[in-house]
Structure formats: structure tokens, C-alpha cells
Amino acid sequence: MLKMIVPMILLLPTISLCKPKQLWATTLAHTFWISLLSLQWFKPSMELMTFSNCYLAVDQMSAPFLILSCWLTPMMIMATQNNLATEPTLQKQAFASITILLQISLIMAFSSTELIMFFIAFESTLLPTLVIITRWGGQMQRLNAGTYFLFYTLVGSLPLLVALLVSETNSGTLSIQMLQLSDCSSTVNSLAYTLWWLTLLIAFMIKMPLYGLHLWLPKAHVEAPIAGSMILAAVLLKLGGYGIMRMATTLAPLSNLLSYPFMILALWGVIMAGFVCLRQTDLKSLIAYSSVSHMGLVIAATLTRTEWACTGAITLMIAHGLTSSMLFCLANTNYERTNSRTLLLARNMQLLLPLMGLWWFSASLTNMALPPTINLMGELTIIVSLFNWSDTTIMMTGLGTLMTAIYTLYMLITTQWGNTPSYTKTVAPTQTREHLLITLHILPMVLLMMKPELIQGT
């Protein structure tokens, strides 16, 4: 673990001392090397935690998220190069440094073995993301979006901090391994235990987000630059699901009083977010609401607390992280050429950019979870586990899957076919950097189809 964290920390002074012309090349080479080193965490035989020290460890649950975080960092820097081309060198160095700080916070969060350390790392991702949204966002509403993002996160996190401190007072430790050995059977039906579960669920479901607590997400995605949208969709939303699954191992089963309302909201959100997607005119907002729909399935799976459901939740989170990040990159290529995110103003792009049309088609197929993609493996596992939990869930999950296919096809047809507007007869050709960026999203998904057990957390 330290051989990943120390090079990332050393990259910060390297960025400040690097020559301006060598800044992007040096940062990309360094972060790509770290992402390749992180692949060693794929160890199917690793059944227990592998400790770096008493505070940091890796197991099969955290390894996929750690690798995804490392893999996404160089792609964030690569995707933002065009947007920062006219910025002064100091601003480019600031962006690269904030990106590295965000990656360090994510690795600390996914690898921590102490709950209070996980909480600190979980909250430390807030400030770099807020700076990326408010400083490099392209629209005037970015400050409003940053305010929504800040206060939604803080409102859910403060009760969780109080609950953690109370738990440490009662048990004497916040170590995940020690708490798993403690006996919680005597406090399952107590009011304090119910409140502890409630604060846990609210804090992490705001982050995911749960339908009804999701209003900050479309604003943040629409106003954020491409790097902010990528990291939000691919990794930051997954902190909530990972936190629920990690902390649930230290607690007794969730009571029906809490599980049923959240389960209903999650499954209802899958359907409602799909209907909202059909009414969107903004491309980035449509992709953001599709994340709400997919995360509803993940929330429902984590609430059942079965091994089969957790396997599907981890698989779907990794698959959605790569797919949604790729969709935001494709939306950014359209925006850079048309200066608009409106769906009706960027039609028939496959005639002007044929290879990019192929990437759009591939991304849409994975978003619809067509076989044999890992998206299908995750969704099918979750739907089967929910059906085993309750027969009636098949109606809501089936309708949600149908809505996903409808709005994905709507997005693909609107952007790639139709009559070409008169002002988009000629557009700038695509760059090798953009094709490499999409390839780096598709390549892991294709390889994981051959060995999906690497990300199933079992």
C-alpha cells in the first residue's frame, strides 16, 4: 500500500518543479505507472485482508475500487488537457495537484481498517472535488452546484461522526476486525442501535445517491468539468455503497423498520430516474440521472446483506464506474465541438465523426447491460438476489431495466442520427488523445468479461 501512496505524495513536488512543457507528459507517465502497479491487487486467492500496517489493508472487497481509482486518475488528466490548454502554468499545476490529492484520499478511504480513519478520508474527498467543480466548471451556476454538493454531504456526515464517537465510547475500538468479533445481539432492538443504522444509511445514501436525496448530483455533474464528472460518476458515488457493505459487517442485521422504507425508495428511484431521463434535454444531466437509476439497484442489493447481492453490487459499481465515465468523455467530445450539451443541437454526429459514433454505440450497449458485458453480470446477480428476497421486486427491477434500455437508445439515436443542423456541417476532427481515452475505458471492461471473478469481491 505504501508503495502506491508514497509515489503519489512525491508526485506533488514533482509537479511544482517540472518544466511547463513537460508537465502533462511527466504527470501522465507517473500516474500510469502507479495504475499499472495497482493491478497486483488482483489476487483471486486473497481471502483475508493483506495488511500494509495496522491502519491500511487490502482485501477482495476493496481491491477493485482501489484499482479503479488508480486507473481513472491518468484518464482525468488526459481528458482535461484540452480544457486547460489556454490556462497559465500555475493553474495547470494546481489542477494536477488537486487530482493527486483526491486520489490519495480515495486510496486512504478504500484501504483504511479503522472506521474513524475511513470517515476522515471519506470527508477529505469533499474539498478537492468542490474545488474542481467551482474553479474549473464551465457555467455560472457552478457555485450553486458546489453549495448543494457541500451541504448535502455535510448534513449526512455530521450525525455519522457522532454515532462513530458514541460507538467508540461503548466498544472501546473502531477497528473493523475487532468490531466483527463483538457481540451485538443484545442491542439489536434498542433505540440507540436503530439510530446508529439510520445515521449510517443516510450518510452513505446521500453520497450514492438515493432517489429523494439526489438533487445535488445532476447539478454537480452539469456544472463540473469533464474531470469532475468522471471522478464523481466512477468513484465518489461508490464510496457510499462500499461504506455500507464495509460497516454492515460490524453490525447486526438491519431491522425491517429501516430496511423496507429505504428498499422501497431505492427500487422506486430506479423507475423514476428512468422516466426523468426520458425528459432530459441536457446530455450530461441525462447521464447523471442514469447513475441515480443504477445506484438504486446497488442500494437495494446492499440492504439485503446476502453474499450473492454484495457480489452483484460490487460488480455493477465497477461496471457502472467505467461505463458512466466513458459516457461523460463522449459527451465532452460533442460539447467541445458544438459548445452545447443540448441533445437536439448535436444530431447526426456519426456522419461527421464516424469512429466516435462507434464508441457511442459501444458505450450505449454496455450501459444497457447487453451480454456478455460485466454490467449484465452485475444487474442479473442483483435482480436474482432481490427476487429471492421478495418475489414482488421483479416487477420494479424489470421495469427499471426496460427504462434503462429506452433512455439509452433515446440518447444514442438523438445524438448520432437525425438531420444535421446547419451550423454543424463542419466540426473539428477527433484527436488520438480522445480515442485513447475511450479505449482505456473499454479495454478493462473487455478483459473483465473473461475473468469477472476479479471484481466480484468473493
Q: What's the confidence (pLDDT) of residue 385?
A: 92
Nearest to 7 by CA among 70, 62, 61: 70
What confidence tens digit (pLDDT) does each residue in 56-93 have? 888 888 889 999 999 999 999 998 888 888 888 898 89
The C-alpha cell 461527421 sits at 352
Question: CA separation (Å) from 170 to 112, 167, 176, 285?
Answer: 21, 5, 15, 44
Mean pLDDT of the chain: 85
**Is the pLDDT reported for residue 457 higher than 70?**
no
Which three cell numbers mark 68? 479503479
More confident call, 44 vs 458: 458
**Is the pLDDT reported for residue 32 higher than 70?**
yes
**Is the pLDDT reported for residue 186 higher than 60?**
no
CA dihedral 219, 224, 229, 230 (to 10 degrees): -170
Burial of 55 (0-12, 13-18, 19+ CB in 10 A): middle
**Is the pLDDT reported for residue 454 higher than 70?**
yes
Average pLDDT over residues 387-414: 90
pTM for the model stands at 0.92
Which DSSP state fits 453? G
**Is the pLDDT reported for residue 45 higher than 70?**
no
**Is the pLDDT reported for residue 281 higher than 80?**
yes
**Is the pLDDT reported for residue 44 higher than 60?**
no
Phi/psi of residue 252, each to 5°?
-75, 165
Which one-letter amino acid corresponds to residue 286?
Answer: L
H/E element, 58 = strand 57-58
What confidence tens digit (pLDDT) does each residue in 248-266 have? 777 766 767 778 888 889 9
H/E element, 57 = strand 57-58
Task: Quickly count helices (H) and strands (E) in the chain.
Answer: 20, 2
CA distance 135 to 144: 12
Which DSSP state fits 188? T
Question: Which of 98-107, 197-206, 374-383 is least confident?
Answer: 197-206
CA distance 223 to 133: 7
Which three cell numbers mark 412? 444514442
pLDDT bin (cut points 50, 70, 90) of residue 384 is very high
The C-alpha cell 450514492 sits at 208
**Rounded-to-5 percentages of helix, strand, coil across the chain:** 75, 0, 20
Which three cell numbers mark 12? 506533488
Which three cell numbers mark 140? 455560472
Q: What's the confidence (pLDDT) of residue 252?
A: 66
3-state secondary structure of 54: coil
Average pLDDT over residues 6-13: 88
